[in-house]
Amino acid sequence: MRFVVTGANRGIGLEFVKQLTERGDEVDAAARDPDDAADLRALALPGVRLRIHRLDVVDDASVRGLAEALPAGPVDVLVNNAGVSGVKGGEPIDPEDILRVFDVNAVGTLRVVRALLPRLRAGKTRKIVNLTSHLGSIADASGGRYAYRLSKAALNMATRLLAEDLRGEGFLTVALHPGWVQTRMGGSAAPVPPEQSIRGMLRIVDGLKAEQSGRVFDFQGRELPW
């Protein structure tokens, strides 16, 4: 299987690449600055089917460049992991921050999907996986974190729209919440190790069924309201 993983330089994206390459999958890993991704580069050992690419999801030219840089052949699974958290304190309604985070987390994902659709159409499984958060749930909203919550709610809608628009072509599109993970973004107080989160999400991705397309699940397979 051939995967493309964005935001692969650290945290959840890095762990996706690690587990995928360990089980023998072919991975094209994208990072905004590959020169500052030592942990990712360290995974590119002899015999490992890993290629590393530069990608800034808010830059149309960079996204086109990724599509052009990928070696020939189909892509089976796209994992849209690239994201930012936004300002966590201070002024709760910060329009500039909201627009910046929205551009990365929601619009950036759609830029990548648009650019890679021809490769995905040629793939065996035609799976699109968008990394979301329970903080994007409208049903469970508790206030605060405007930029991040709005961006993830929009991403959930984008997931549903892609599922409906591409269903006739056999695509499976899902939004996955990784849990509160022990990463730089999640912090040391987070209860879920990256290894556990990614193992759970890969089980979902590998077994994804048509009736699950367009829905939101956590890494344990529980459907989330949004």
What's 11's domain CATH number? 3.40.50.720
pLDDT at 89 over 90: no
Q: How many domains does the chain have?
A: 1
Report the alpha-carbon distance of residue 166 to residue 17 in Å, rounded: 26
In a domain, 223, yes or no: no
Enzyme catalytic residues: 148
Find all residues with CB under 8 Å of 216, minimum gap 6, and list them. Answer: 132, 137, 156, 159, 174, 175, 176, 177, 223, 224, 225, 226
In a domain, 118, yes or no: yes
pLDDT at res. 187: 67
pLDDT in tens, 129-156: 999 999 999 998 888 899 999 999 999 9
The model carries a pTM of: 0.95
pLDDT in tens, 165-199: 999 999 999 999 998 777 766 666 777 889 999 99
Report the alpha-carbon distance of residue 5 to residue 91 in Å, rounded: 33
In a domain, 183, yes or no: yes
In a domain, 69, yes or no: yes
In a domain, 226, yes or no: no
Q: What are residue 51's DSSP bridge partners?
A: 28
**Domain range for residue 49?**
2-218
Q: Average pLDDT of 70-76?
A: 97
Q: Contact, 130 vs 159, CB < 8 A? A: yes
Whole-number average pLDDT of the chain:
95
pLDDT at 103 over 90: yes
Q: Contact, 57 vs 111, CB < 8 A? A: yes
In a domain, 224, yes or no: no
Q: Contact, 208 vs 26, CB < 8 A? A: no
